[in-house]
Structure 1
Amino acid sequence: MGERKVTVAAEVGLHARPAATFVQRAKKAPMDITVTRSYGGEKVNGKSILAIMALDVRQGETVVISAEGEGSEEILDELAEIAGTP
């Protein structure tokens, strides 16, 4: 399973427009994508805008984005770029 640890860069955190952009890209991926806070907690569906926004991730906080399957490394790189700074 591939994963990226990302510090959220957007001023609004992983909410509103950044969350929508993230989910739109994630939905195009053929594999499951999960997002969790870096310090643990619930893994949520990276293709669900409600799940992503419910994490309430703020600017400067770190998340772990995970995916498994063919092409997952490229998708993880794209999602990490959308979310913030790897």
Structure 2
Amino acid sequence: MSQEFKFTVSDPAGMHARPAGLLVAKAREYESSIIVSYNGKSVDAKRIFGVMGLGVKQGDEVTVKVEGNDEDKAAAEFEQFLKENL
């Protein structure tokens, strides 16, 4: 089973280097796989160049899929992190 949710980026600069770095650091706290998808591309949220390479701007909606042993905790905390930081 996996958890999936959608998130709309509200940061005026989008998913640029600073928030992408924070996102990657947060994703690495979990054992579960965290995949961010946007505009037909999917990347590992634990890889900074993948996340930055999506080119997500303010107002864009991404889909986040979390799968693994701690997916319930990871999905809930990661979604809250996005709301507070992006």
Bin the TM-score by the shorter chain.
0.7 to 0.9
- Could you tell me the TM-score, scaled by structure 1's length? 0.84
List gaps (5 residues or longer) in structure 1.
none
Distance 2:83 2:29 in 1: 19
Distance 1:58 1:76 in 2: 22
Is 1:60 matched with 2:73?
A: no
Alignment RMSD: 1.6
Runs of 4+ in 1 over 4 A off after TM superposition: none
Is 1:23 matched with 2:57?
A: no
SS of 2:52's equivalent in the other structure is helix
Number of equivalences: 83
- Could you tell me the TM-score, scaled by structure 2's length? 0.84
Percent pairwise identity = 33
List gaps (5 residues or longer) in structure 2.
none
